Structure 1
């Protein structure tokens, strides 16, 4: 038998290991097993009255033996049914203890008969003490006959009258209204009715809460979750302006199109929690639904959270408030959905062929033969690291602070055709071109436009690619007329890549300081932003 599994009262067979055999008395709602405080162990040992048995820390007594169902209030000790669950002989004891009537004790004779002996109440003890000391205490009948203004009779062995004694030692006297000598008096009945009323009200409250809990569980299981989110895609889909404000997308239809691209992957998606999340799970191999409870946010709301983070750069705490969920859930959603969106939307960043470029060539590029791309770099503020060496690797002299640098290439029609991986702000434009892999995209005979900082002619010698950049002043005092004309032509054509980068900066996450704990997600963020920019209307009219 385990420690504290069985009730220690003699004759009580309640055992927590066998709930189907529990006996619950009328004054108890739920059976519990109560332990004895160290200071009360001697008292409980005497109350149990079992030969050779002592109450220890492992002793447990069930709720049937406590007046209030447990050691509470004025009844901290077990006193009911101490010789077995005999309901016929102990229903009166509950009333006696609750009402304050004379407590009784039981003794067993040799013949097995139970005798009940009444103990002296406080009033009887006071009366006995008064008689022993010869105080003249008038009887009730005499007090009724005696007028109120008559002087009290002197005491036989004291110079003080009984009235003086009551005034000096009133704590030793009790009024008739305070003394209960009958179990069936009106005071006891009223107290008993009040206790029954409180018990019934508590039972009704318990049943109501139990019903609400069952209803709530059924709603969760059937998918009818009634949690009201402050923000929900259902509240925004009626207005394309609201969709554009929160996500940067032109319409709700575009939002649904993006969701349809990733919807087939969602049942098998594994949410990022730690490094262990990178291992393939069994449900992903079997292509079955992910086990576990239903998620608090719907898939569309999780997509909305991710796009709002990119567009508005709201903090995780504020997003958690808007969607009535925890901060850890928002962090988990962002860490999972950003790589997923980057993987699924990467196809929107396309390097076109020469024939495709000729189909969508604006008139301002007609004078450039085989124009393939316009390239430029942009920088995003980055949180300053504490290590000096790390700070020197990402410190930008141009911006005067720690930044992340990105190489962007766009087509003559204004769509983004290439974005590089994120690099430190101290890297030069020439080194960015060399390490980004964009040189492998060029075909022989292509023409590219760039700023003066992209002095990369020697990198293009392996492929006969023409580089159009504004001329350098060098040691001359001013440009010639032809050089000025060339500078204006290149600037007028190259300005479109600045407009494309400006569209990327419309997403607040590309302007605000990026925290270091999101540095591993910044490559995914850049790809998502570039893809969303390509879904916008053309920047250059055809």
Structure 2
């Protein structure tokens, strides 16, 4: 019969350590902080394995079964996904992209920065153009399409350039929002700051992940998020965002024909937040449903917008 001690050991959870890239110098990628990067084991084939060891350039180095090289050191064409969903390199492929051969590691953004053309089109209002598929836009920002994201940016851009108070320290955070005479220096164009804020809000990306994606310091990411949180709250908090009753009724979808007086569909949601150090605040934000500290909110959608959102998810 198994003893009590043996039972505890038998049901003890074993936590695996995070994978990390063995390439020296500038590569510090770890699976714990970036789920987009894949980590590849050294090949079994002795000849290909020897080529990997030459490419990696580490003296007196003997790889083990846990040694990995991250996917950023492979050409995109050398990587593939199997029918079972596993990430593999092509047969005979070797890592070739390193800091010492003047290869700059990509930031793996879904959008690329591009300088504004000399004769910008009417759709381009920022110093940098943010591009991506509508599917990426919905996932990372919750806007339905790229055009919706750009339309929202056009609405907030004038205020962002003139009325935004940037959170840089305790003194700046307590400054009046009407004081726009303070000099403003930023690491990112304002439209990229908005994108960073939405990616954090929509997907819940960790600050360190965002810092790597946008090529800025971790502290800068935190200040950008705080700045845009206060700015959008002040800008949008006093705006009337609801549609007139007659417009809602005129565009009522046929699914609501049995309920012709419907004006809004209500639902509640929760957004994960950092656990406060204060026990009182913890009791106010803790969610028994999520078993985590969350911000609670009630959301209302017009029937037409709700149907459009459902159609996009299909």
Query: TM-score, with normalisation over the residues of structure 1?
Result: 0.30
Higher helix share: 1
